[in-house]
Structure 1
Amino acid sequence: MKKDNKLLVMITVSMFVTIGVVISPILRFEGFAPTAHFVNVVCSVFLGPWYSLLNAILTAIIRMSFMGIPPLAITGQVFGAVLSGIFYRKSKGNLLCPVIGEILGTGVIGALVSYPVMKLFYGTGDITWFYYLPSFIIATIIGGSLAFIFLKTLQKSKVLYSIQKKLGVNVYDKSKKTSNK
């Protein structure tokens, strides 16, 4: 990343954190926050896996601190954020791959990790390892699908590539058959 872009990247991460916090109450139930997954996927495509992870951690901490959300805010975001960005990069720009990364990362891994975390903090007696799996998977499918539609629209209009170029991240413009940095 170019030095000139660092401020723009930090502002963009801040924007994603703000959006994640503000829209998180929309359609949010215990273990079900599709808007967080929308933000994860879009941030992963715009900035990559590590900034997406930073976004997920900051958003989760703010949501836990000010909204009283349990530790599911962290377990329900970080794994999907990283895998979403990694899958996007490994696929060289296939917009379906970050959605799959979010579903696997949060929908499966995050759901399974949530059980011991919630048991540690709340001692929830009757739940099993698979308790969070259905709601996490449904939420990631909803949020990921909305992100896919949003990103596909940006891609078709070439706005996605313009944003990525300004941020100084990998641009996978399929019409040019090249990857630029």
Structure 2
Amino acid sequence: MSKTYRITFMALFAAIGTFGSSLLWFPAGIAKAYPVQHAVNVVAGVLLGPIPAVIIAFVTGLLRNLLGTGSLLAFPGGMIGAFLAGYLYKKMKKKWTAAAGEVIGSGLIAPLIAVPYAKVLMGTSVASFFFIPPFIVSSIAGALIGLFLVTRILKSNVWKG
């Protein structure tokens, strides 16, 4: 895959994550759940790999924060899940491992990182169990959507990665 092709798809996935998150989200305590971002993480992790998926998650989180449609929690949640989705797929070559990596990274690891992160950057101190339920719900929903999409993309033979 050429560098231009890869960067173009990274920009497209960041745009889908940014715009899609403004359409489909639900409040979950002080966090907002964005299943579209989780779906993008799975698709990007499988199609482009872990590093491009992390960059896409960072750009999407940054754009959502600049546009006022996201929270600072988008950074740890999106980036950790994107990395694990891409990394596990790269190692095991099974699409379901990308979805599992997204749920583990965004649903379980990110809430633990979000506690001190929220205290320092957002001025709130809550226990990690407060973040786990909304992060899990959002990441499972998005990972399933992403798994469905990436399966259809790869089955259709339109992706030339």
TM (norm. structure 1) is 0.82
C-alpha displacement of 1:69: 2.6
Q: What's 2:95 paired with? A: 95
- Deviation >4 Å, runs of 4+: none
Can you give the 5+ residue segments of structure 2 that lack an aligned partner in the other structure?
Answer: none
SS, match of residue 43 in structure 1: helix
Indicate whether 1:9 and 2:6 are aligned.
Answer: yes
* Structure index of larger Rg: 1
Q: Give percent identity, aligned residues only.
A: 30
Q: What's 1:39 paired with? A: 40
What is the number of residues matched between the two proteins? 157
Q: More helix per residue: 1 or 2?
A: 2
Structure-to-structure mapping, 1:133-172, within 5 angstroms: 133-159=132-158, 162-164=159-161
Q: What's 1:132 paired with? A: 131
Answer whether contact 2:40 2:146 (CA < 8 A) is retained: yes
Can you give the 5+ residue segments of structure 1 that lack an aligned partner in the other structure?
Answer: 165-181
Q: What's 2:105 paired with? A: 105
C-alpha displacement of 1:152: 1.7
C-alpha displacement of 1:123: 2.5
Q: What's 1:178 paired with? A: none
Answer whether contact 1:83 1:105 (CA < 8 A) is retained: yes
Question: Structure 1 residues 28, 163: closer, same or farther in 2, change over 3 A?
Answer: farther
C-alpha displacement of 1:58: 0.8
